[in-house]
Chains A and B, each alone.
Chain A
């Protein structure tokens, strides 16, 4: 039998050193007894520990996950923890994946111990309550806490990083942690009587606690699941839990029974700050009117109407399909990836983007939500028809010479009927009102092409189409 005496309750390094040596000497887990210096001597335990077997040769690997679990589990208060960890280590030596087997009894045990330790640490971070001693610059903050496991050293750095600018002490029966503004130190445990009994702010804190509680939703079990009663004796707010619960039903009943009182002063209704003034400008008035459009159901799920933008008297009007994700959020047309592609193509085609009016056939984003993204959906004919009034009114406000329809949806809107792109693209077409129309693809079509060669080719064709608009724009400039 090997007797290992560790230096203290949280002596992970000592355990690791002994365990490594024992494994390398093929010492069965059943042949090792573990204890801690100062713990009451066990029956038949020898006066002196077994000398740590000197090991100079050989080493072995265990998964990092085990080391991580063991570092936490060793802080558990169960006196068997050293033996359990050694047993698991012993088995891991020949069976590396064992740590992943969530149903293995030893893995279950060690995982549960580690979890209990982390939960205790988390609860310590949450439930420590500092009390102020002295005031202002002289103040020192002292807390009393009773941890379930040996977690003071584990939990202390959190407080050091959080309360770096104030000296504090956390007193516990096992070990006390202190921060002087520069370094952490630890002293032996003390009794509760050493800790301060109150703080000037606790009454304010209790008032807050009582006021933030909603008596109409009493859920005592839910509270206790997260804040078990064992913590209550050191929480200043816990003294009012019972009266709050006892009074909850009466308070709720009173709120339900008491009809509302009449407002004691006439309510002035200030001008609703969220409404916007409409402008006399035709295009601006249109934009404002379109913001409230409900001609089809698309407005419901979209963020906003994305109206056209550009100079009031642009001689070229570009029409796309509908706003996309970015456009819907920003409220401006062609600001997303397709917009960037369009900008580039326009520049190459010699079209001055600033002199062009840009809009969409459908002015709300149509999509289906898929988790955290929105999948674009093609608008259908009723939606295109419902939205066509805005396109027509934009045309009559702006009076462009040329309308460029990008993609099938835009072409359907411009010509008032389904119009195939392939047969009509790349040439000027007369519209009944005397304007010219030009059909081309939608820039997002280019973005979707998977083959880079196709993409480059189609992009060139797109630029060629836009050059027709470019030469028209130049003519118009010369004419002016």
Chain B
């Protein structure tokens, strides 16, 4: 089988992992003349976008899609009849360098089916990164999938070469993981995430310590995970509760939500429908509310409930808490401003900077880049105060519901 065909199979096998980030790592470049590559600290670079709207930043492939495990939701499960392939270590290294040199990618995201044992699989994955870093002095971004229960020395080595490590939690609940992925063990996944966090903390402490010793390197872009949405019956509350727990426990940089999508040769045991993309979108919005807007899970969605699909979760919260509005944006605290529907974190910073020297008026809203129609019922300005009956009106929500339109794809 030629490399091109392998690439097709092993990229197809990897695409259900939503993670694409190349951001948040240390600053590196190759201006010392040794090797090639650099990182874009802060924002990361998306070199292309596929028609599914997802960014293509890294060469995202599996080392092999052969797998001992039979996870129902997975395209690579042992009982699937998809074609199988396996890259050699050299093939992945060469593809990565060739693509990188042409500026197609920021680096490599390497994962693998579980073959032989967790340690054997992890060793194969690590050897690609080792070769890239040690032999080719590759300075680009590397994201490695970590195999739960892999030996500590292998994990330490993975962290030495990789920018980011990830282990997918897959399902929001232990019971669904048992049902859909009988060989996977959520306890093992969590234990390994815990080990990663301890190593991340250690590396951070050694960076901060004012000693001359070179700080130990361990995955400067941290760890992330992914949850599949819509394969099991878990509620949005359960999903967000799990996310909040994972963020707090393991200091994850990101939890990715992946709407369960039809796959080739899918298992009969799963709902083969269009992926719940809108639900996935709402979960990301709720995730942002938890991480950047000071919301707790319980405020965003009630126990075992779902997020509304027709309006975003912050607006839904505001409509449930109308007593907190309207808010005078020339006086309100940052925390309060962050809870106004339509205000993003940047708009809030602009408002706070601006009001130090001047009063914000109706005409200024457009210059602050906030959606006027959305925010008006909730805010007071020096020349605007919403009529009290409007905020209390049962029909207020209609103002925000999307207008019914024919489904279709604009192109």
Contacts and interface: CB of A to CB of B under 8 A. Distances in A.
A164 B4 contact: no
B51 A255 contact: no
A452 B309 CA distance: 54
Interface string B96-112: 00110111100000000
Nearest to B16: A214
B8 A164 contact: no
A3 B55 CA distance: 47
A291 B187 contact: yes
A161 B31 contact: yes
Contacts of A252: 262, 274
A241 B51 contact: yes
Contact of B354 (A103, A143, A304): A103
Contact of B251 (A98, A209, A372): A372
Which of A218, A252, A329 gathers most chain B CB within 10 Å?
A: A329
A244 B264 CA distance: 17
A480 interface: no
Given A122-B45, A226-B46, A108 B367 contact: yes
B264 A255 contact: yes
Given A212-B11, A244-B51, A100 B118 contact: no
B191 interface: yes
A403 B273 CA distance: 59
A129 B7 contact: no
Contacts of B81: 261, 263-264
Interface in A245-277: 245, 248, 252, 255-256, 258-261, 263-264, 267, 270, 272-275
B272 interface: yes
B22 to A, nearest CB: 11
A241 B51 CA distance: 7
Interface stretch (A9-17, A75-83, A200-208, A385-393): A200-208
B353 A100 contact: yes
Q: How large is the interface on A (under 10, 10 to 19, 20 to 34, 35 or more residues)?
A: 35 or more
Interface string A227-241: 100000001010001
B409 A220 contact: yes
Contacts of A126: 45-48
A97 interface: yes
B156 interface: no
B38 A162 contact: yes
B107 to A, nearest CB: 11
A213 interface: yes
Interface string A325-340: 0101111000000000
A212 B259 CA distance: 16
A280 B351 CA distance: 67
A284 interface: no
Nearest to A305: B187
B51 A219 contact: yes
Interface in B16-39: 16, 29-38
Contacts of A221: 53, 409-410
Which of B117, B274, B367 gathers most chain A CB within 10 Å?
A: B367
Contacts of B368: 102-103
A274 B53 contact: no
Nearest to A301: B245
Report whether over half of chain B's contact residues are helix, strand or loop; otherwise say mixed.
loop
A161 B357 contact: no
Nearest to A100: B353
B17 to A, nearest CB: 10
B134 interface: no
A222 to B, nearest CB: 3
Q: How large is the interface on B (under 10, 10 to 19, 20 to 34, 35 or more residues)?
A: 35 or more
B149 A273 contact: yes
Interface string B78-100: 11110000000000000100110
A162 B102 contact: no
B356 A227 contact: no
A141 B14 contact: no
A103 B367 contact: yes
Interface in B37-84: 37-38, 40, 43, 45-56, 59-60, 68, 70, 78-81
B8 A207 contact: yes
Nearest to B95: A204
Contacts of B124: none
Interface in A301-324: 301, 303-304
B277 interface: yes
A131 B103 CA distance: 10
B4 A204 contact: yes
B215 interface: no
Interface string B179-204: 00001110110110111011000000
Contacts of A258: 265
B317 interface: no
A160 interface: yes
A211 interface: yes
A213 B50 contact: yes
B284 interface: no
Contact of B248 (A128, A161, A211, A372): A372
Given A209-B48, A226-B49, A329 B36 contact: no
A219 B52 CA distance: 5
A262 to B, nearest CB: 8
A237 B267 CA distance: 32
Contacts of B184: 274
Contacts of B392: none
B411 A329 contact: no
A101 B265 contact: no
A125 interface: yes
Interface in B320-340: none
A327 B268 CA distance: 42
B356 A97 contact: yes
B384 interface: no
Nearest to A255: B262
Interface in A34-78: none
A217 B357 contact: no
Which of A166, A213, A241, A273 gathers most chain B CB within 10 Å?
A: A273
Contacts of B40: 125
B364 to A, nearest CB: 4
B60 A212 contact: yes
Nearest to A204: B4
A327 to B, nearest CB: 10
B263 interface: yes
B190 A128 contact: no
Contact of B102 (A141, A248, A300): A141
Given A208-B11, A303-B193, A267 B78 contact: yes
A102 B49 CA distance: 32
Nearest to B248: A369
Contacts of A275: 185
Given A122-B45, A141-B101, A274-B183, A214 B261 contact: yes
A181 to B, nearest CB: 8
Contacts of A210: 8
Interface in A186-203: 199, 201, 203
A12 B122 CA distance: 52
A241 B36 CA distance: 30
A303 B249 contact: yes
Interface string B135-152: 000000000000011000
Nearest to A304: B191
7 contacts: A105-B367, A129-B102, A165-B33, A165-B36, A252-B262, A274-B183, A303-B190
Q: Which 10 A-B pairs have the closest CB atoms?
A: A222-B53, A369-B248, A219-B53, A329-B194, A161-B29, A103-B364, A211-B11, A102-B350, A213-B50, A263-B79
Interface of A: 97-98, 100-103, 105, 108, 122, 125-132, 141, 143, 158-166, 181, 199, 201, 203-205, 207-223, 226-227, 235, 237, 241, 244-245, 248, 252, 255-256, 258-261, 263-264, 267, 270, 272-275, 291, 300-301, 303-304, 326, 328-331, 367, 369-374
Given A208-B8, A263-B80, A304-B187, 10 more contacts: A97-B357, A159-B103, A165-B33, A207-B7, A221-B53, A248-B51, A273-B118, A274-B118, A326-B198, A372-B247
